[in-house]
Structure 1
């Protein structure tokens, strides 16, 4: 769990948007480009990175106004 103002890589946490079975989504600010983003963080740290990439790869292939745009997928230590 992250807290308001906490830095996660280049992202500054602003608030929690919601949480589900897979992870928590935060409203964050990309400090490099000064843009608001949704940052999804898995609950389990032991999740295989290949498994984590499945969802963003599927979503990146879609283009629809009601589907969020995937900008990046990163692994933070």
Structure 2
């Protein structure tokens, strides 16, 4: 398999499945994008590894492990897709702030109370 390195742009379409809307996050593994599912217009999140060759196996395992987990505090996985040799996980899109941003805005550096932790879960 040839090394495929993903670099997305807003507005880009991934095959006939998704249109990228906004990058939500980026790390050493890859990127997470807010995307529009083209078949029905639903807003979803998609995780795309930078290194597709290494990322395929990781995404397959992740998808297999969490696709059947249904819990209100865990993002739901809709599926694993191969779009012209571009491997992605399609997930539920949850609008809001990530935990790091919430914690940055905490007015005190004292340990969180149990009630604060429950409120954020």
| TM-score above 0.5, yes or no | yes
Output the aligned Cα RMSD. Answer: 1.4
Number of aligned residues: 77
TM-score scaled by length of structure 1 = 0.87
Structure 2 SS opposite 1:57:
helix
Q: Return the index of the structure with the highest Cα Rg.
A: 2
TM norm structure 2: 0.58
1:18-66 residue CA offsets vs partner (Å, 9 max, x unmatched)? 0123220000000101100001100102226343210111111311111
Gaps of 5+ in 1: none
1:34 paired residue number: 41
The farther-off stretch of 67-76 and 34-43 is 67-76
Question: Which structure shows the bigger proportion of residues in helix conformation?
Answer: 2
User: How far, CA to CA, are the matches of 1:30 and 1:2 in structure 2?
Assistant: 16
Secondary structure at the counterpart of residue 71 of structure 1: strand
Q: Is 1:55–2:62 an aligned residue pair?
A: yes
Give runs of ≥4 in structure 1 deviating > 6 Å: none
In structure 2, list runs of 5 or more residues that go unmatched.
1-6, 86-121
